[in-house]
Amino acid sequence: MAEDSYRVSSWYAETFSGVIGMAKRRSVNVEILTEAEDPRRYKDKTVILLGFSGVWTKKYTALYASVGANVILICLEEEKTPERVHVIELDRSRAIREVMRRMAAAGRKRILLFAPDRGSVSDREREEAYLAEAMELGLAVGKADVYPNTGKLEDAFLSLKPHLREYDAAVCVNDFAALLLLRSAVTEGVRVPEDLMVTGFGNMKLASATSPSLSTVTLDYGEAGRQAMEAALYFEKHPEVTSSVMTLASRVICRDSTGMLPPFEEVRRERGESAGSVPFFSDDTVLKIAHANALLTAADATDRAILSAFLRGYRSSEAAEACFISESTFKKRMNRLLTHAGVSTRAELLELLKTVGIEKSEQLEEG
């Protein structure tokens, strides 16, 4: 079962693909649940939860555990794992510590945290890790240097904008926030990474295509899905194991927005939790980035050639000829590209690409 807002993210798609792929390998049937299901039907069965907000996750964890189901949480760190709940963790706290420590080693001392949703468990973990690591590193930053997402990413940037030049690095809680900050900072005349280093979180396809390309933290959501299915099979055979935690590591991908960062020396930190997140995927900025990312993720070499031709100013007939495809094939591909982009015209498609920082055909080369 997945929270509705989570289904539009690339994280959900990767995690779901991991679950289904492993289920096929193990010849296991998977039922896709909705919030309307009667939990009592799943007594002594295993339910995998993919949630975004703490409120939703806690509600359905408690609901299914109370009727005797085995619950597996993906991408959520729990301070204390309840009975009949198994957690597949993606270690966000370590990732924040690593990014900050490597930025500090590169000489950056004024590091801000951008767009945490304080109602989200995972973002609260990131904020607590940020504050703890700032103290450990002796940086002159604290709660006043956290610019939360209280509803819209644009509002988070507006609160940061008057202070933007006070910082030399920014850690963003996800790639959506990082892409917005990256674009907005460049528009304000801030040089990236010379004046401001920027990192994201999630390694969206779009992160490697924007200019400058975005440094980011990758978490293997596909592996989380595969491990969740393996855990489901194991715990069904071993009911005496009533709770467990498995942690999957993160990895920093250095691109243009930071340049190559020094290596990381790990220092372990505690984590926390919260509840009551904002409706992240109802934010217009987030949806535009999500659509652009879906477009690039689905696009094959021919699709990218079509998009590149458009960015060079080719008309539709010229783009079809340049890509060595027929007019009918071109129309079919265009309809598919427009659907993935969530737009209805070529002009809107080009505007979407420019909105997320893709203005040159070279940026659509595989990276």
Other CB atoms within 10 Å distance of the CB of residue 80: 7
Task: Please report the pLDDT score of residue 123 as a whole number.
Answer: 86
Say how far apart CA 141 and CA 139 lie, in whole Å: 6
Residue with tokens 């995690």: 15
Which residues sit opposite 218 in a β-bridge?
251
pLDDT tens digits along 209-219: 998 999 999 87
Find the range with the poorest average confidence among 27-31, 228-232, 238-242.
238-242
Joined together, the tokens standing for residue 125 give 């973990």
pLDDT beyond 50 at 45? yes
Report the alpha-carbon angle 7-74-275, nearest 5: 80
pLDDT tens digits along 277-318: 555 555 778 778 878 887 888 788 898 899 998 888 888 888
Domain 92-218+253-278 class, CATH top level: alpha beta
- 299-364 CATH: 1.10.10.10
Return residue ranges of the chain for CATH 1.10.10.10.
299-364
Tell how far CA 75 is from the center of its chain.
11
Which spans in the chain are helix H?
A: 10-25, 54-66, 92-105, 121-137, 153-160, 175-187, 221-237, 284-298, 301-311, 316-322, 327-341, 346-355
Find out whether 102 and 90 touch, Cβ atoms under 8 Å.
no
Q: Name the percent of the chain lying above pLDDT 70.
A: 91
Give φ, ψ of 111 to 5 degrees.
-105, 125
Say how far apart CA 182 and CA 193 lie, in whole Å: 10
Handedness of CA 336, 342, 345, 348 (dihedral sign): negative
Superfamily of domain 4-89+220-249, CATH level 4: Response regulator (3.40.50.2300)
Q: Spell out the residues 6+ positions from residue 189 whose beta carbon is closer than 8 angstroms to its own.
A: none
Confidence band of 272 (pLDDT split at 50, 70, 90): very low
pLDDT beyond 60 at 248? yes
Torsion on CA atoms 62, 63, 68, 70, rounded to nearest 10: -70
Return residue ranges of the chain for CATH 3.40.50.2300.
4-89+220-249, 92-218+253-278
Find out whether 21 and 221 touch, Cβ atoms under 8 Å.
no
Say how far apart CA 172 and CA 112 lie, in whole Å: 8
Task: Please report the pLDDT score of residue 273 as a whole number.
Answer: 43
Task: Please report the pLDDT score of residue 223 as a whole number.
Answer: 84
Task: Please report the pLDDT score of residue 366 as a whole number.
Answer: 60
Find out whether 63 and 79 touch, Cβ atoms under 8 Å.
no
Query: Region 78-91: what's the mean pLDDT?
Result: 68
Find out whether 206 and 292 touch, Cβ atoms under 8 Å.
yes
With b for 16 or more beta-carbon neighbours within 10 A and e for fewer, the 147-167 pattern comes to: bbbeebbebbbeebeeebeeb
Find the range with the poorest average confidence among 145-154, 164-173, 332-341.
332-341
Taking every pair of C-alpha atoms in the chain, what is the biggest distance, in angstroms? 66
